Amino acid sequence: MNKHDADKRDLFAIADLAKEFGISTRAIRFYETKGLLKPDRVGSTRVFRRRDRARLILILRGKRLGFSLRDISEYLSLYDTDNSRTAQVQLLIEKVDERLGLLRSQLTDLETTIAELSEIRALADERIGPATDIDKAS
Positions touching its own copies (CB under 8 A) are: 61-62, 64-67, 78-79, 83-84, 86, 89-90, 92-93, 96-97, 99-100, 103-107, 109-114, 116-118, 120-121, 123-125, 127-128
48 binds, among its own copies, DNA, none (CB under 5 to 8 A by kind): none
Indicate whether 84 belongs to the interface with DNA (CB under 7 A): no
- Confirm or reject binding of residue 138 to DNA (CB under 7 A): no
Reference 46, options 77, 17, 81; nearest CA is 17
Q: How far is the CB of 44 from DNA (least distance, A)?
A: 4
Q: List helix spans (H) across 65-88.
A: 69-80
Instruction: List the one residue out of 87, 67, 89 whose CA is nearest residue 78.
Output: 89
Q: Is 30 in the site for DNA (CB under 7 A)?
A: yes
DSSP 48: B
Distance between CA atoms of residues 17 and 24, nearest Å = 9
Q: Is 107 in the site for DNA (CB under 7 A)?
A: no
Q: What's the closest the beta carbon of residue 45 comes to DNA, in angstroms?
A: 4
Among DNA, its own copies, none, the one that 74 touches (CB under a kind-dependent 5 to 8 A) is none
| Nearer residue to DNA within complex by CB, 29 or 95 | 29
Q: Which long-range contacts (CB under 8 A, 24 or more apart) does 51-58 make?
A: 52/12, 53/6, 53/12, 53/17, 56/17, 56/21, 56/28, 56/31, 57/21
